[in-house]
């Protein structure tokens, strides 16, 4: 028993130190990207900003709260106080006819994090479990990136975090856009966790202390953000806020190649939901330090 207590304390300290190292490495890589000037059209060489490219209002809170909290810390430093964070939601979440209200709720969360949000309300990009028009998504994303001089994008991975067709289309559109327009853009995709780890909460964060990720104890922040999305509050939200791994860790992969999608795989609104038959892309984990 005498040996158990020091062992527990020592293990806890090692975990805390490793988490701090992971977060420091994550911030270091972001700083390197933001400090590297790139050319945006006729504006010449400029230092870019950060953008989230998402599918619906509340995606930012359900899945990306640890990253939002981390970026708040980044911008508190004088060196990066000028950095802007922008958010693009490709739909207004009008599945139940609450689109206008959901846009207002998203704006409340964006105000909390000093994020400038852009919301799309297009007939071709309506909330629903269907695959959107890739071309329409790319056009909206391209405008967003160039207008706001985005050099680093956070978005979903090819599994869409929750398997939602809108999320998957968003990922594909971002990757294809980078290849098509030769945009010097860093794309970081939120990794979809194995179903066994998805609801392990803080334990999943501990398991990621050796990978590149954001680890933040943010269940209270996530729940607080979701209270601003009042139209989406359900009985399960408190449980999600504390049990979901997304309340504690955001693990990212970096896009290295485009996704090649066949024309027949682009579905119009109300098409029969089905997954693309071929997703040819490559990703690699963010380099270890």
Tens of pLDDT, residues 29-70 = 898 898 888 877 666 778 899 999 999 999 999 999 999 999
Q: Cβ contacts of residue 94 below 8 Å, gap of 6+?
A: 102, 121, 126, 127
pLDDT, residue 47, reads: 85
Q: What is the pLDDT of residue 128?
A: 92
Provide the number of structural domains found in the chain.
1
Give the whole-angstrom CA distance, residue 151 versus residue 56. Answer: 22
φ/ψ of residue 118, rounded to 5: -125, 130
Q: Residue 266 maps to which CATH number?
A: 3.40.50.10320
pLDDT for position 152: 95
Q: What parts of the chain have a pLDDT lower than 70?
A: 1-22, 41-43, 181-183, 208-212, 256-289
Domain that holds residue 158: 4-285
Can you tell me the distance from the alpha carbon of 68 to that of 131, in angstroms, rounded to the nearest whole number? 27
Question: What per-residue confidence (pLDDT) applies to 21?
Answer: 56
pLDDT of residue 272: 36
Residues 6 or more apart whose CB falls under 8 angstroms from that of 220 comprise 241
pLDDT the model gives residue 180: 77
């Amino acid at each position: 028993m005498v040996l158990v207590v020091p062992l527990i304390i020592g293990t806890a300290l090692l975990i805390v130190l490793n988490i701090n190292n992971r977060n420091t490495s994550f911030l270091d890589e972001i700083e390197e990207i933001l400090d590297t000037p790139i050319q945006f059209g006729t504006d010449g060489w400029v230092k870019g900003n950060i953008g989230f490219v998402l599918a619906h209002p509340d995606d930012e809170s359900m899945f990306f709260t640890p990253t939002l909290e981390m970026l708040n810390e980044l911008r508190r430093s004088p060196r990066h106080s000028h950095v802007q964070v922008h958010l693009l939601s490709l739909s207004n979440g009008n599945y139940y006819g609450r689109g206008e209200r959901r846009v207002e709720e998203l704006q409340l969360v964006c105000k909390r994090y000093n994020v400038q949000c852009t919301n799309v309300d297009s007939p071709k990009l309506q909330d629903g479990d269907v695959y959107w028009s890739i071309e329409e998504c790319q056009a909206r994303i391209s405008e967003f990136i160039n207008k706001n001089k985005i050099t680093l994008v956070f978005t979903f991975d090819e599994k869409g975090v929750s398997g939602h067709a809108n999320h998957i289309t968003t990922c594909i559109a971002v990757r294809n856009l980078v290849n098509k327009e030769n945009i010097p853009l860093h794309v970081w995709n939120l990794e979809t966790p194995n179903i066994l780890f998805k609801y392990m909460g803080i334990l999943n964060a501990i398991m990621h202390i050796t990978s590149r990720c954001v680890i933040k104890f943010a269940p209270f922040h996530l729940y607080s953000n979701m209270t601003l999305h009042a139209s989406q509050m359900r009985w399960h939200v408190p449980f999600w806020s504390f049990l979901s791994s997304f309340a504690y860790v955001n693990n990212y992969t970096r896009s290295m190649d485009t996704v090649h999608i066949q024309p027949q795989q682009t579905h119009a609104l109300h098409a029969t939901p089905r997954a693309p038959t071929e997703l040819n892309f490559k990703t690699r984990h963010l380099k270890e330090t």
